[in-house]
Amino acid sequence: MSRKFRKPISRRDFLKLGAAGAGSLAASNFVMWLSGCTSGTGGEATTLNVLTPAAPDPAPPGVADFSMDAFAKWQADNNATVVYESPPWPQLHDKMATNFASGQYVHDCMYNCGWVPEFAEQLIPFVDDLPKELIDDLPASSFSTVTWDGKRLGVIFTLSLLTLFYNTEHLAEAGISEPPKTWDELLGFAKEMTHDGKFGWVLNYGAPEGIGGVTSYWMVFLQQAGGTMWGSDGMAAFNNSAGVDGLQFMIDLMPYTDPGSISYVGINDATNVFTAGHATMMMNWPFMWVPAQDPETSKIVGKVDTSVLPAGPAGTASIDGTDAYTIGKSSPEPELTTKLIEFYLDKEVQKRQVIDTGWLPIRLSVLNDPEVQAAASNAAAVLEQAEAPYDSFVTPDYNEVTDTMGREIQKALQGTQTAAETMAISEQLVNDIVSKRLG
């Protein structure tokens, strides 16, 4: 070691060192700030900041591993650099709320899931700027959950409806060759399948709120019973026979439902029971088709199939996962961001999305592509389900409404209050929440 390294550091040296460090930090920040100022004005690539969930939740090229060459080419062609922030799905809502509350520009494009009405004031209506050929290729009903106050604020990028997943082997052992088509059949089959530690039905009823929470599952049965969530005045319209019947059917299924269902807080918890062969039927999202067919994650490979959900008194119905891309009002590059979303919805990208990740496309032409149908044999069932009503009834207070109501539904499923009592209590609670918003 040389002498100069053995020299003790004096307080003055220490302060000098600190000042030098702070100076270089400030200088580097200044350089970065300058580079930010010049981006997009000259030869520098324009940076687009995009908030999406991490894979395996629905994620675009660059986060999920598909269409990577096309993505690189799009960036080069548009002189753009796409920077992703991809936290786990459960963190997205809070992150977005915090970003919007700051009033600062953080992201150009952000994934949304049922929160479009809640964040409507922070989003721009860009859908009309997309090519007509693209819009015409999307199911018209897919815009219902991303439209608020007559403005189309997002575009759904995956057809994600709940359908029935069932274990063909379990049914065959009982001499049943077809999945249940009505509530009566579903109840009967579930009863017959419940024996020796196995259950006819499993679902995650543990989390009350949001898409995939217990309230959203009740919304499926509500629609199948012919009911709706909201009246024309925007107030609760479910405290009637349809609301009660929908919940009563869930209660009637409980003796044949995996008892753990009331404690499962995520769809993965329920899916694990189903793919282990411990339950015969469940409602599930299309993306679960791939893990259900993967020998590493499933014990029922080749023994699982999907169909439309069994019909209630008013027929079959479902809810929509509402996975959409939106553009923030604070984005300095809304045109380029619109082009990026257009790229995400490109036919070839949509095709690779389903083939490589299992997330179905939203474009009808791609859904009907034979190669896609061969790769995702559940696509036909989802398309058929899409022909029936599917509404997730999202509003700006969707989280609070579903959370509040879900707690009452959980009480009913545990037998501490009746379906009729639950509907009456929920109507009051939900109307209180809505009244606050409507003033």
Partner 1 sequence: MSRSSLSSSLNEIRTAGKYQRSRLRMGILFSLPAIFILLAVLAYPIISSFILSFQDVRLAAGGIVTEFIGLENYAKIFQDAAFRNAFNNSIYFTVIEVVAVTILSLGLALILNHPLGRPAIYRVVLLIPWALAPVANAVLWKWIYNANYGVLNAIVVGLGLSETPIVWLGSPFLALNMILIADVWKAIPFITLLLLAGLQNIPRRLYKAALMDGATSWQQFMHVTLPGLRTTLIISIVLQSIWALKVFDLVFVLTKGGPADGTVLLNFLSWRVTFNYLNIGYGAAIANVLFLLMFLLALAYIRALRPRSSSNK
The region of 70-78, 96-104, 282-290, 311-319 touching partner 1 under the rule CB under 8 A is 96-104
Using CB under 8 A as the binding rule, whether residue 368 contacts partner 1 is answered as: no
| Helix, strand, coil % over all residues of the chain, rounded to 5 | 50, 15, 35
Nearer to partner 1 (CB atom), residue 209 or residue 427: 209
- Residue with tokens 């399948």, as numbered in its chain: 193
Nearer to partner 1 (CB atom), residue 347 or residue 411: 411
Using CB under 8 A as the binding rule, whether residue 13 contacts partner 1 is answered as: no
Sheet containing 46-51: order of strands: 80-85, 46-51, 109-113, 323-327, 154-156
Using CB under 8 A as the binding rule, whether residue 410 contacts partner 1 is answered as: yes
Residue type, position 262, single letter: I
In the complex, minimum distance from the CB of residue 103 to partner 1, in angstroms, rounded to a whole number: 3
Nearer to partner 1 (CB atom), residue 9 or residue 101: 101
Using CB under 8 A as the binding rule, whether residue 262 contacts partner 1 is answered as: yes
Contact residue for partner 1 among 85, 129, 252, 397 (CB under 8 A): 397
Closest C-alpha among 422, 337, 387 to residue 82 = 337
Contact residue for partner 1 among 21, 23, 231, 259 (CB under 8 A): 259
* DSSP secondary structure, 265-313, as one string: -SHHHHHHHHHTTSEEEEEE-GGGHHHHT-TTT-S-TTSEEEEPPPBBT
Closest C-alpha among 197, 201, 188, 159 to residue 318 = 159
Nearer to partner 1 (CB atom), residue 316 or residue 410: 410
In the complex, minimum distance from the CB of residue 336 to partner 1, in angstroms, rounded to a whole number: 22
Using CB under 8 A as the binding rule, whether residue 106 contacts partner 1 is answered as: no
Alpha-carbon distance of 432 to 281, in angstroms, equals: 36
In the complex, minimum distance from the CB of residue 145 to partner 1, in angstroms, rounded to a whole number: 18
Contact by Cβ (8 Å): 371, 361: no
Binding mask 277-316 toward partner 1 (x if CB under 8 A, else -) reads -x--------------------------------------
Nearer to partner 1 (CB atom), residue 237 or residue 265: 265
Contact residue for partner 1 among 66, 71, 74, 100 (CB under 8 A): 100
End-to-end CA distance of the chain: 75
Using CB under 8 A as the binding rule, whether residue 258 contacts partner 1 is answered as: yes
Contact by Cβ (8 Å): 256, 189: no
**Helices and strands (DSSP H and E) totals, the chain:** 18, 11
**Residue 217: in which H helix or E strand, if any?**
helix 214-224
The region of 62-70, 106-114, 207-215, 308-316 touching partner 1 under the rule CB under 8 A is 207-215
- Residue with tokens 């769809």, as numbered in its chain: 267
Contact residue for partner 1 among 399, 405, 425, 427 (CB under 8 A): 399
Could you say which residues in the range 117-156 bind partner 1, by CB under 8 A? 118-119, 121-122
**Residue 54: in which H helix or E strand, if any?**
none
Closest C-alpha among 194, 169, 166, 170 to residue 180 = 166
Using CB under 8 A as the binding rule, whether residue 260 contacts partner 1 is answered as: yes
Q: How many of the other CB atoms lie within 10 Å of CB of 136?
A: 11
Contact residue for partner 1 among 1, 9, 101, 140 (CB under 8 A): 101
Structure-token pair, residue 47: 């940076």
Nearer to partner 1 (CB atom), residue 339 or residue 407: 407
Interface residues with partner 1 (CB under 8 A)? Answer: 93-94, 97-98, 100-103, 118-119, 121-122, 205-209, 258-260, 262-263, 265, 269, 272-273, 276, 278, 329-330, 397, 399-400, 403, 406-408, 410-411, 414, 416
